[in-house]
Structures are given as structure tokens and as C-alpha cells.
Amino acid sequence: MSSSNEENGSTPSITERIEEDKRLARSLEGTYLFDGLRSQKNYPLNKMCMSLTKPENREAFAADEAAYCDRFGLSEESKKLVLERDWIGMIRSGGNIYYVFKLASINHVSMQHVGAQQNSMTLEEFRAKLNAHRDQ
Amino acid sequence: MSSSNEENGSTPSITERIEEDKRLARSLEGTYLFDGLRSQKNYPLNKMCMSLTKPENREAFAADEAAYCDRFGLSEESKKLVLERDWIGMIRSGGNIYYVFKLASINHVSMQHVGAQQNSMTLEEFRAKLNAHRDQ
Amino acid sequence: MAEIIAAVTTSHVPSIGIAMDTGITQDPYWKPLFDGYLPAKEFVKKLKPDVTIVVYNDHGLEVFLDRVPTFGIGAAAQYLSGDEGWGPRPIPPFQGDPDLSWHLIEHLVAQEFDMTMFQEMSVDHGFTVPMSVFFGGPAGEVEEWPTRVIPITVNTIQFPLPMAARCFKLGQAIRKAVDAYPKDTRVLIVGTGGMSHQLQGERSGFMQPNFDRMFLDKMVTDPMALTKIPNGVFMKEAGHEGAELIMWLVARGAMNLEVEEVYQHYHVSASLTAAGLACYRNK
Amino acid sequence: MAEIIAAVTTSHVPSIGIAMDTGITQDPYWKPLFDGYLPAKEFVKKLKPDVTIVVYNDHGLEVFLDRVPTFGIGAAAQYLSGDEGWGPRPIPPFQGDPDLSWHLIEHLVAQEFDMTMFQEMSVDHGFTVPMSVFFGGPAGEVEEWPTRVIPITVNTIQFPLPMAARCFKLGQAIRKAVDAYPKDTRVLIVGTGGMSHQLQGERSGFMQPNFDRMFLDKMVTDPMALTKIPNGVFMKEAGHEGAELIMWLVARGAMNLEVEEVYQHYHVSASLTAAGLACYRNK
Ligand SMILES: [Fe+3]
Ligand SMILES: [Fe+3]
């Protein structure tokens, strides 16, 4: 009943491969594997950020940020993270960097600024960290 | 330069298989293979019909069918087919039966009615044709 | 460990849903069809599946021609009956199983199936009618669905459709993925679409019971032969929309090569469609 | 008969596009990067491709988490630069090649790649920046694109991503499909994404030039070794977003196993990203 149509030997190896891959990816410090679990975690935040690709939505957001967040059903905690532009807080809460970055873009906040804040560094410190790689 | 990474022998066989399949499908009388060519043929008609899955769009359509068609950029010819509920005309022009059928649905016109008209039959004649299969 | 406990397959037609929802299943036109469903309902009732994977095709509810996925899979917590133009069917919401959905997604992608992952999704008659047929009361009515669900979509709206052999392999990959799921979960797989029918063109109304009966036979005796049928041949023998039979092959691929047909019913016709149904368990 | 005449690969970063669009490519920060692009522009200019297949990842312009295709392919007549939050880039529209697109779709589906077919599609920096890098004037500016385009998307927004080996096989399948196209069409394939970078989390700013240089080497000497790298290892060695390197393997798969590297450029960093570029032709 439980034997598969094809050779059964590959089942454990696929499972092992997937589990090992996820274990490794989840073990990386300061990294939030954006898998199915995380994709469900703060769906409203990502959806709100995605909507900012339309100019009329950016205007509505600018007019009343909190009300706009409510329209997308953000939790009070997530709304606070958005209003305070707490980038690392948004990522931790389940934000996907590609959607969250749209929120930065509308205020012309650069990725370097977002990266610095996530690292609790000043922009200068963060740039020095990036440039340090030139020696490698 | 032209030899592939893998065994080259399968390339012609895939091409032959695809061409033979399309040739057969296109040779069927009274049948309009809905492939890429046809999918491009009357995209606005299908898009207009797809929109009718929303009640507010159905209301807008009912209020002024011609104006609604214009909003989706239908050709004059396609608009006439819609206004006249010319089902076979819509299919010939590039309509996909699944989208076109939504236009029938909003007036509670059954698939049997659409089928009868495509066959230039009365509903009774078409039903007799369908029931004739019971003897097979 | 999880297990696929059975496969059931059936045609789907909007008007079967309408007949159930408007209470006319005992009218002379519909009675033979719905009477034929009763033994399948009994079979499914005894199975008590925790999760039902429904392999179907979207008919233009979620999928427009702007973006057509070959294979899709739902990962939502809930799926609602959608509005196909005549309003949503009056049935309860379907509860999903995101944990098993994501397990399937990870295992299908690892087996080189290029799935489209849906986290928001409403379902059309291709999904809801089979659910009513197998899980509804005698006339299809239902108060609460007794199973969680996972929708898997197959493109049959725009050529090229996936080949029959690819669909069968998808079923095999689903089987492997379910076998690898660590929870004790009893899974039923439903393959829906077909049998012979053509809705579009002057050939609409085309049906070929001989082909359907051959297909029903080979589902048991020689499924590999069915996987060799090109989609153009499905269209010729079973009608332009009859190519939906490839969904039966996904369900079949999830079973052993040897199966027992527990029940079969064949009725011509429901609306424009030859209506077939079958229940299989592994030998 | 059609032919893939070369493959070129490059990183992509929004700010590279912004630097070109605002005319600051000769500023000290940007000059080394843009100077490094010039020989690649010369190489591509001489190639005069009729069609350019751009294999890239959408960064949340067309794709939201409601519906994530593993592999997508455009079949539109035209593709516009989309609005990622800071307005569309001020560049001309891209002309598609629907005939070749549908040929590719038919041949990829026949080779068991489960593509999502896009007939409406705007393109983001993952597509437009490489196009400016390879086809723009000295500073990236462009009046009219000298090539038709076909976008192919790879999911890198949500795990599971397709495996490196699957991406390489997609490239092989594209190659077979192009080889089977009956028109005399010269096709360039572009693989874009990476190199090492991480945008999210406290690890943002992570880069590892040693890994990138290994990757650049093996693209020539041992691409099959790269196809064995699990996506978790890409994330560890090249950063959470560095897994975009799998797109390079699609382009690589479309070439012979033996290639000549015509040009290579590597620069740390553009914004948060290690910027690599390479040009390959078949041996
Ligand atoms: Fe159907
Ligand atoms: Fe990127």
C-alpha cells in the first residue's frame, strides 16, 4: 500500500535534501528564510507594500499612512513598524525585503540606508563595511 | 556550434510531435484550437468577458453594453457580435469558450443554448443530437 | 506517516452544481446521473479522508490569458466558491491545509515540477462540483465539508496543455511527497474533468462514448497507454474540451500501477458532456 | 535556422539604473563599474542579436505572494518598464517576438517544463538594468532598443526556489527549442541576478568575493559542479538574495558544455551587491 510507483529509494533522499537545505538556511544568523512559513507570517504588510507600485496608492498612503495600513488589515504592531520605518522590525515580522523596499523607495530612502538600519549602524559605518570587501 | 548539450536526436522528434499534434488539432472541422495564435486574436473580447465575473462589472455592462465594450477596446465587429449574442461569431473571432460563456451566464443562457446556436440548430434539435449518443 | 488512501475521478459541469443548488436532482433529466453518484458517496464517506487533493482546471475564474500557469497549487487556509458569472455557489467555505500544501510545494519543486504557488485562490465548478458529488448529501447539499482540501490546477484553457505523460508523472510526484509527509494524514486524490465533450465551435455537442469507455477501461488495465495519447488526439477523440481527461491521469499517477476499480458510472449526457465517474483503490 | 549566438551574464541593482537615468555614471563611485561594462557593450554590439532572451527574477513588480510562478515566459508584443515604487525608468518600450515566444512555450512544455505564460507583463530592474548595461550607450542611455526581447522569469522571491540543476536544464531546453526554430534568428541569452548580496536582516551587506570568483571560474571550467549547489548553500555563501545566481545557470545551460569566456568584470560593490559580469561564446 505504501510502495510508490517508481523506485522507492529516492523518497528519503529528497526529504533529507529538503530538510538539510532548510536547516542550513534557517541556521544563518541575521537571515530570515522567506519560505512558506514566513510568507504566511505577515501577508498584510507585504500586500500593503506591494500596492505602493501604483502612484494613486502612494498618494493615498501619504495622505494618511495609518488609515491606509488599516485598509490592508495590518496589526497594530505592524502599523507601528511602518509608521516608524523600522526596517529590521518589518523584516522580523515577516516582511519580504522586495516588498518592504517599495516603502523605502517612495521616500527615496536607499537600500544602503535600509541596510545600515538593519545592522544598527550609521550610513557611514555601513558603507565602510561594504567597501571593506574590496580587499578580499 | 549547432550541436546541443544533450543527445541531438530528440530535437527533431519533439518538433515533429508538436507539429503533428497541432496539424491534427487544426484539421478538426468546427473546432478552433485555442493556442497562442488564437489567444492573441481577440484578446480584448476575452478580457471583457472575464471582467463579468464581478457583479459591479455586470451592472456596468447591463447599463450600456456598447460603452462597456469600448472600455475594453473591442473592435466594432466584435462589439456587434457581443450585442447580438452571436456565440459562434465570437468563437470564430478568437473568443475562448470559457470566457465567452460568462457572457451567456449573466443572462442565464445555458450552454445547451449556446451549443445549439453554434450548430445552427433549434434547442430541441440540439438536445436530440446530444441524447442520440445514449445509443452508442 | 501520510498516505494516499484512494483516488476518485469524475466529470464536472456547471449545471450539475446548479441542479444540486436548486434542488432538481430528482427531476427525470437529472435522476439517472445523481442516482449513479450514490455508491461513490458511500465509498468516500467510509474513507473519511483528512485531506482531499482536488486536481482540476480553472475555467477562467482565477486564470485569465494574461498569465496562465501550467500547474498551480493552493497554499491558502481557506478557499471560497467563486463567481463565474452567475454568482458564487451557496456552499460552505473549504478549509485548506497550509502545512501539507507547503510540504507538497517543497517536494514537487524538488522533484522538478515548476509549480505556481497560490496563497489566495477561489475555486470554480471544476472544484466545487466534484466536492459536492463526492462529499454532499444524497442530492449534493452539504452543511460542512468533512475534509480539508488542497486544490491543484492544470492548464486546459490554452494550448500547449501539459502532456498526458507529464500529468501522470505529477501524480507520481504527489504520491512521493505525500508518502514523505510525517503526520498521520489520510489523503484522497480527486481527478476531475472530461469525459468527452466539446463546447466551442460548430462541433460543439460532440461526444464519443466509445472513447470514454476505452479510457475508463485503460485507467485500470493499462494507464501507461493513456499517458501516450497526444493532446491533439484527445481533442479529436474526446472533443476540444475533452482534453480535460489529463486530470484523471494525475490522480491515476498517484496510485499503484495495479488498482482495483471499486465503482464506475457512465451517463450520457449532462448538458453537453458525457459524465463519467470512477473510484479506485490500490491493489 | 535559429541559433543561440552567445550568453552574457550580469548582476542587476536598481541603483545602477538610477545612476544611468540621472547621468552620474562618471561620478567616482560609479565610474569603475561603468568603465568595466564598455568591453561587454562592444561584444554585444558586434553580435547584433535579432532577439534577446532575458532570464531574470521579478522583484515584486508583477509577482505578489498570492501567486508565484516558478518559471514564467513572456509572449507579449511589447513590454514596458514598470513602476517599482519610484516610477518607471525613462527608457523606450521593449518590442517582443510573440512568434518565437510561442515556439519556445510549445517546446518547453513539450520538454516537461511547466511554464507560466504571460501575455501582459511589465519588467523591473532585473530586466531593464541588464538591457541598459549591454545595449545602452557608454553611460547606459538608449534611444531605441536594437533587439527584440523575450523575458523569462525565475522565482527567487519565495522558497522553494527551483534547484540550480533544474535551472541549468531549463537552459538546455531553451537551447533545443531555439535550435528547432525554423526562422533565421540570432538569439542572445542573458542571465541576470547575483552575485553575492544580502538585502534582508542583520546580515544585510554580506558579500563574499571568494565565492563569486569561484562561481565565475566554474561557469567556464565546470558548470556541472555549480548545478549541484543547493539553494541553502547559495544563501550561506552568497547571501539570501545571492541565490539569484541560479539565473546565470539558465544562460549557461543554453551554451555548449565547452565555452570561451570572452570578457569578465568583477567589482565590489554596487550598493549592497557584488557586481559581476561575463560574456561567453561557444567553443
Ligand atoms: Fe471543465
Ligand atoms: Fe535582484
Concerning whether D125 is annotated as a catalytic residue, the answer is: yes
- Cα–Cα nearest to D178, from D280, D282, D103: D103
Interface contacts (A, D; CB < 8 Å): 147
What span, in angstroms and rounded, lies between the C-alpha atoms of C173 and C184? 19
**For residue D59, is it within any domain?**
yes
Residue C164 and residue C249: Cα distance in Å, rounded? 7
- What is the mean predicted confidence (pLDDT) over C26-45? 97
Question: Is A119 in contact with D202 (Cβ distance < 8 A)?
Answer: yes
Number of Cβ atoms within 10 Å of the Cβ of B76: 10
Q: In what order do the strands lie in the sheet with C71-74?
A: C259-270, C273-282, C3-10, C186-192, C51-56, C148-154, C71-74, C116-118, D67-69
* Chain C residue numbers touching B43 (CB-CB < 8 A): 65
Task: Look at C109 and D68 and tell me if their CB atoms are within 8 Å.
Answer: no
Using CA coordinates, name the residue in chain D closest to A129: D205
Nearest-CA neighbor of D152 among D82, D228, D90, D76? D76
The residue whose grid cell reads 458569472 is: C85
Contact D65 C110 (CB under 8 A): no
The answer to the question of residue C68 being in a domain is yes
> What pLDDT is recorded for position B134?
76
Length of chain D measured in residues = 283
pLDDT tens digits for range B49-102: 999 999 999 999 999 999 999 999 999 999 999 999 999 999 999 999 999 999
Q: Write out the H or E segment, with its range, that includes residue D188.
A: strand D186-192
- The 10s digit of each residue's pLDDT in C195-214 is 999 999 999 999 999 999 99
Tell me, yes or no, whether C271 lies in a domain: no
Computed over every residue of chain C, the mean pLDDT equals: 97
Determine the distance separating the centroid of ligand 2 and the alpha carbon of D220, expressed in angstroms: 23
The whole-angstrom separation of Cα D169 and Cα D252 is 10
The catalytic residue among D12, D103, D125, D267 is D125
Among all residues of chain A, which has the CA nearest to that of C117? A36
CA of D197 to the centre of ligand 2 (A): 9
3-class DSSP assignment, residue C100: helix
C-alpha cell at D2: 535559429
Nearest Cα neighbor of D246 from C114, A102, A105 is C114
- Mind telling me the catalytic residues of C? 125, 197
Tell me if there are at least 3 CB pairs under 8 Å linking chains B and A: no
Query: pLDDT band for position B1 (50/70/90)?
Result: very low
pLDDT(C32) > 80? yes
Ligand 1 centroid–CA C131 distance in Å is 14
**Burial class (CB within 10 angstroms; exposed 0-12, middle 13-18, buried 19+) of B86:** middle
pLDDT digits (tens, 9 = 90+) for B19-50: 999 999 999 999 999 999 999 999 999 999 99
Say if CB C73 and CB A36 are below 8 A apart.
no
Chain D closest-CA separation from residue B17 CA (Å): 9
Give the bridge partners for C81, in sequence order: C123
Q: Which ligand is nearest to the CA of C127?
A: 1
Residue B132: per-residue pLDDT: 86
Please report residues of D whose CB lies closer than 8 A to that of B1.
3, 282
- What is the overall mean pLDDT for chain B? 91
Q: Which ligand approaches the C-alpha of residue D273 most closely?
A: 2
Q: Phi and psi (nearest 5°) for A101?
A: -65, -25
The partner residue sitting opposite B11, judged by closest CB among D180, D256, D282, is D180
Question: What confidence tier does D185 reach under pLDDT thresholds 50, 70, 90?
Answer: very high
The whole-angstrom separation of Cα D175 and Cα B1 is 11
Whether residue D68 and residue C120 make contact (CB cut-off 8 A), yes or no, is no
Q: What's the gap in Å between C215 CA and the centre of ligand 1?
A: 17
- Give me the residue label for grid cell 475555486: C123
Following CA atoms D164, D167, D172, D178 in sequence, which dihedral angle do they give, to the nearest 10 degrees? -160
Note whether residue D158 is domain-resident: yes
Asked if C163 and D118 come within 8 Å (Cβ–Cβ), the reply is: no
Q: Is the CB of residue D70 less than 8 Å away from at least one CB of chain C?
A: yes
How confident is the model over D42-85, as pLDDT tens digits? 999 999 999 999 999 999 999 999 999 999 999 999 999 999 99
C161-206 pLDDT, tens digit per residue, is 999 999 999 999 999 999 999 999 999 999 999 999 999 999 999 9
Amino acid symbol at B28:
L
Give domain limits for chain B. 33-135
The reply to whether residue A118 touches residue D201, judged by beta carbons under 8 angstroms, is yes
- Domain assignment of residue C172, yes or no: yes
Please indicate if any CB of chain D lies within 8 Å of the CB of C71.
Answer: yes
Q: Does residue D28 have a pLDDT over 60?
A: yes
Does residue C194 lie within any of the structural domains? no
Residue C42 has phi, psi (to 5 degrees) of -60, -45
Residues on chain D touching C166 (C-beta within 8 angstroms): 112, 114
In this predicted structure, what is the pLDDT of residue A3?
40
Query: pLDDT tens, D86-139?
Result: 899 999 999 999 999 999 999 999 999 999 999 999 999 999 999 999 999 888
Q: Write out the three cell numbers for A66.
A: 495609518
Query: pLDDT digits over C124-152, tens only?
Result: 999 999 999 999 988 999 989 999 999 99
Contact state of C84 with B102 under an 8 Å Cβ cutoff: yes
CATH number for the domain harbouring residue C181: 3.40.830.10
Q: Per CATH, which fold does B33-135 belong to? A: Protocatechuate 4,5-dioxygenase; Chain A (1.10.700)
Q: Which residues of A touch D81 (CB under 8 A)?
A: none
pLDDT per residue as tens digits for the range C76-116: 999 999 999 989 999 999 999 999 999 999 999 999 999 99
Say what the pLDDT of residue D98 is: 98
Return the pLDDT at B5.
40
Residue of B nearest to D120 (CA): B43
Tell me which of D12, D59, D107, D197 is the catalytic residue.
D197
- State how far the alpha carbon of C282 is from the alpha carbons of C52, C167, C254, C258, C265, in Å: 17, 19, 10, 6, 19
- The amino acid present at D194, given as its one-letter code, is G
> Could you tell me which chain C residue has the CA closest to the CA of A13?
C180
pLDDT band, very low/low/confident/very high, at D246 (cuts 50, 70, 90): very high
Q: Across the interface, do D102 and B36 touch by the CB < 8 Å criterion? A: yes
- With respect to residue D146, please indicate whether it lies within any of the assigned structural domains: yes
Collapsing DSSP states into helix, strand and coil, what is residue D52?
strand
Containing domain of residue D39, as a range? 3-188
pLDDT tens, residue order, chain A (136 aa): 344 444 444 445 888 999 999 999 999 999 999 999 999 999 999 999 999 999 999 999 999 999 999 999 999 999 999 999 999 999 999 999 999 999 999 988 999 999 999 999 999 999 999 988 876 5
Q: Specify the number of domains making up chain C.
A: 1
Q: Are D121 and D73 in contact (CB under 8 A)?
A: no
